[in-house]
Amino acid sequence: MTDAELHAAAQVSKAWPFEEARKLLKRFPDGKPGGAPVLFETGYGPSGLPHIGTFQEVLRTTLVRRAYEVLSGGAPTRLVAFSDDMDGLRKVPDNIANPEVLAANLGKPLTRIPDPFGCHESFAHHNNAMLRLFLDRFGFDYEFVSASDRYNSGAFDDALRGVLRNWQAIMDIMLPTLREERRRTYSPVLPVSPTSGVVLQVPVEVVDAEAGMVRFEDDGQQIEHCIFGGNAKLQWKVDWAMRWVALGVDYEMCGKDLTDSVRESGKIARALGGRPPEGLIYELFLDENGEKISKSKGNGLTIEQWLTYGSEESLGLYLYREPKSAKSLHVGIIPRAVDEYWQFREKLPAQPIEQQLGNPAWHLLRANGDQGGGGEALPVTFGLLLNLVGVLGARATREQVWSYLANYVADADPAAHPALDALVTRALAYNRDFVAPTLQRRKPETNEALALAALDEELAGTADNASAEEIQNIVYEIGKDPHFGFETLRDWFKALYETLLGSAQGPRMGSFIALYGVANTRQLIAEALDGQ
């Protein structure tokens, strides 16, 4: 595939990253003026521990960034991960250690609140570090920017001056969107109290826009106060617009819950003399109960939880797909995501270029600069690993699993199959925490017992090195035999899963028996028949 072929295919690709990137290409058909890099931004509110909803925004934005680079023939780009760590803490998150530390500092900027974990300069520094740790682990190319650093250093002072100059225009945009009670106290600027250190929600009067001077009431006293140098921050929608203009942001996506904010911040950006960025409004993730995931509630999944039970690539696949559709986010989706990623990756090299650009693996491989063409395959699916580990039990070890893999995998050495070895560890954790506690093998019905006995008899005459396909044919023939009374093969396989594996669903049985071993499978059958 030549660069010209790739560029031509990208121009018409229906993959959503290319559709998003074409918005930027339309905005800058000849590149950004002066050869400046196109600036992509993601936002993070460090009032709670990072979760997958935070990470997905960086990943998805990176996918659009890489697509734009292809479409533009390699135009320069930057990605800024911006932390809103100047925000005042409104409430204590539910899932935080030592909550009394936070409770004593409610209302203060997040970077001016002690770290309840006791390991960083502030609460925000702790949460920022956790976000950066994972982004670095995944290999993202990004620049981390702190709101507090920008406000405190004076880097935003000129932008704040612009807000004061355009005060009335901003008020005219915002006031019609507010309830009557809120209108009476609304201010685009939130001064930081010089006495309490709290971010104040009070009416503010502009005294001198050029000098940054404002007047407001603090603890019953009328004071004049310069908002420069970290002595104030902006109200959320004004802050977002100011940042777009001050940094020159060209693309930023956000969740559906910020739809109104996008509209109003866009108007404010224009009032400040700038242009709102292009962007995608994506649907939100839901937990297994259908509720929106929240940093403060701690529902849904953390990044660490996903990576305990699944791979980085599987997380990437889940986040790539259908950004405009709401999706449930819980541990039960992980095994399928792991296997689907490897299926996409294996197919990639044989696909024509048009299909490659629609293959999630193509985009995910390029997210952190990997130009590889895929094609690798796992010798054992994650689903099959889980079934093997499920039979071995909650106390199974990595060494035990690899001893069984020797029945199925050529050169069954962890060093030769590092991706598979990583999944063995995750399968053991997933089984221990979610599968083993729920497994319960039921007694076979009369016709099922007869079929199991027939399968045992056939396996008794089967060589230990029989292929998975040979064993699968044996299983098929028994299920199709009308003597055993199965209406469909599905009924037969369901019986195998429930009586031998203790699960309502399971693997391709020929593959499982080849992996677990003929003799071991016959022992499972004997146990099922003994318990009849």
Query: In this structure, what token pair is assigned to residue 8?
Result: 């031509």
Whether CATH 1.10.10 fits 446-530: yes
What distance in Å separates the CA atoms of residue 316 and residue 339, rounded to the nearest whole number?
13
Query: In this structure, what token pair is assigned to residue 141?
Result: 């190319």
What distance in Å separates the CA atoms of residue 71 and residue 468, rounded to the nearest whole number?
45
Query: In this structure, what token pair is assigned to residue 487?
Result: 């209406």
What distance in Å separates the CA atoms of residue 345 and residue 213, rounded to the nearest whole number?
58
- Sequence-ordered list of residues with C-beta below 8 angstroms from that of 131, at least 6 positions apart, any chain: 44, 46, 50, 54, 55, 81, 83
What distance in Å separates the CA atoms of residue 304 and residue 9, rounded to the nearest whole number?
37
Return the pLDDT at 296: 53
pLDDT tens, 257-313? 999 999 999 999 999 999 999 999 999 888 777 777 665 565 667 788 899 999 999
Largest Cα–Cα distance in the chain?
94
Helix 167-174 with 157-165: angle, nearest 10 deg: 70
Query: In this structure, what token pair is assigned to residue 94?
Result: 């539910």
Task: Answer positive or negative: Cα dihedral of 241, 247, 250, 252.
Answer: negative
What distance in Å separates the CA atoms of residue 6 and residue 73, rounded to the nearest whole number?
10
Tracing tokens 């911040």 back to the chain, one arrives at 265
What distance in Å separates the CA atoms of residue 426 and residue 144, rounded to the nearest whole number?
30
Segment (H or E) for 255: strand 254-255
CATH 1.10.10 positions along the chain are: 446-530
Query: In this structure, what token pair is assigned to residue 384?
Result: 């099959």
Tens digits of pLDDT across the chain (532 residues): 688 999 999 999 999 999 999 999 999 988 899 999 999 999 988 887 667 777 889 999 999 999 999 999 999 999 999 999 999 999 988 778 889 999 999 999 999 999 999 999 999 999 899 888 878 888 889 999 999 999 999 999 999 999 999 999 999 999 999 999 999 999 999 999 999 999 999 999 999 999 999 999 999 999 999 999 999 999 999 999 999 999 999 999 999 999 999 999 999 999 999 999 999 999 988 877 777 766 556 566 778 889 999 999 999 999 999 999 988 888 999 999 999 999 999 999 999 999 999 999 999 999 877 766 778 899 999 999 999 999 998 889 999 999 999 989 988 999 999 999 999 999 999 999 999 888 889 999 999 999 999 999 999 999 888 999 999 999 999 999 999 999 999 999 999 999 999 988 888 999 999 999 999 999 999 999 997 5
351, burial (CB in 10 Å: exposed 0-12, middle 13-18, buried 19+): middle
CA 106 to chain centre: 29
What distance in Å separates the CA atoms of residue 87 and residue 101, rounded to the nearest whole number?
17
What distance in Å separates the CA atoms of residue 323 and residue 447, rounded to the nearest whole number?
47
CATH 3.40.50.620 positions along the chain are: 3-174+235-282
Return the percentage of the chain with pLDDT > 90, whole number: 80
How open is the CA angle 198-201-207, to the nearest 5 degrees?
A: 100
Buried/exposed 491-527: b ≥16 CB within 10 Å, e otherwise? ebbbbbbbbbbbbeebbbbbbbbbbbbbeebbebbee
What distance in Å separates the CA atoms of residue 519 and residue 455, rounded to the nearest whole number?
12
Going along 257-320, which residue ranges are E strands?
A: 281-282, 285-286
Query: In this structure, what token pair is assigned to residue 295?
Result: 């940093």
Whole-prediction pTM: 0.89
Q: Which CATH class is domain 3-174+235-282?
A: alpha beta
Using alpha carbons, select from 270, 255, 306, 16 the residue that is nearest to residue 166: 270
pLDDT tens, 96-126? 888 999 999 999 999 999 999 999 999 999 9
What does residue 128 show for φ and ψ, rounded to 5 degrees? -60, -40
**CB-based contact 167:188 (threshold 8 Å):** yes
Q: How far apart are the first and last CA of the chain?
A: 60
H helices of 431-467, in order, are 446-460
What distance in Å separates the CA atoms of residue 483 and residue 220, rounded to the nearest whole number?
90
H helices of 394-467, in order, are 398-405, 418-430, 446-460
Using alpha carbons, select from 54, 65, 244, 251 the residue that is nearest to residue 141: 65
219, burial (CB in 10 Å: exposed 0-12, middle 13-18, buried 19+): exposed
Using alpha carbons, select from 315, 339, 336, 308 the residue that is nearest to residue 432: 308
- Antiparallel, parallel or unpaired: β 327-328 and 38-44: unpaired
Return the pLDDT at 299: 63
**CB-based contact 363:66 (threshold 8 Å):** yes
